[in-house]
Structure 1
Amino acid sequence: MSGVSIPVVEVSAVPENGFLLDVREDDEWRAGHAPNAVHIPLGQLAQRAAELPKDVQIYVVCRIGGRSAQAVQALNEAGWRSANVAGGMSAWSLAGRPMVSETGRPPTVL
């Protein structure tokens, strides 16, 4: 990945109504995610990329930023406009941004 520039945005710069793509695994998603995020695990992204809009900026998030950086590189090379959310859901949670869970328990970042 050397020489490849990955666009990065801070958690605070993600608009409330921005298109947020969460590329974490199912168990991580169920434990806690942004309320309006779209969930496509990184391993399914190539097969499911057509589900993503091409006319908006996509903000990509994982737990701390590694998987989302891979997703951003692939998406941008394929014609989408995407940026990695710095610090991932860990930073999202620390910043007090809204989260929900699918477990019936308070949302958490795995």
Structure 2
Amino acid sequence: MFGGQVAEVLVNEVPEDVYLLDVREDDEWRTGHAPGAVHIPLGTLGERADEVPRDRRVYVICRSGGRSGQATMALNQAGWDAVNVAGGMQAWEHAAREMTADGEGEPRVL
């Protein structure tokens, strides 16, 4: 998607216990997200970047990989070690990786 400019990993290559940054919007997050993920919407990442650790690799995810690709490029350009999760939460759900939701109902990807 980004012409080799952004490092990507497949969802099944995302290790357990990593720093997983979810850059989707609030409603998308509430409906379903990876357990342990950290939620910082893309639109607020610039002002909240100091919350993202610099001492470890950051795995960035969104719905399909577009917004997370943008976030990954920006983080890498600013000195982070970030990698895009290819296919985003759609691929995560398709791979039957664990998900959780805020509130009632089964977790799902909007």
TM-score if structure 2 supplies the norm length? 0.96
Secondary structure of 1:83's counterpart equals strand
1:69 maps to what in 2?
69
Can you list the C-alpha shifts for 1:26-79, whole angstroms capped at 9, x where unaligned?
000000000100000000000000001001110000000000000000000000
Distance 1:68 1:32 in 2: 16
- Cα RMSD after superposing both structures: 1.2
Code of the residue aligned with 2:30 in structure 1: it is R
Long gaps (5+) in structure 1: none
1:78 maps to what in 2?
78
Cα distance change on mapping 1:3 and 1:35 into 2, 3 Å: closer
Distance 1:3 1:92 in 2: 22
Secondary structure of 1:44's counterpart equals helix
TM-score if structure 1 supplies the norm length? 0.96
2:16 maps to 1:16 = yes
Hey, which bits of structure 1, 4+ residues long, moved more than 6 A?
none
Secondary structure of 2:36's counterpart equals coil
1:33 maps to what in 2?
33
Cα distance change on mapping 1:65 and 1:36 into 2, 3 Å: same
1:105 maps to what in 2?
105
Long gaps (5+) in structure 2: none
2:95 maps to what in 1?
95
Distance 1:46 1:102 in 2: 25
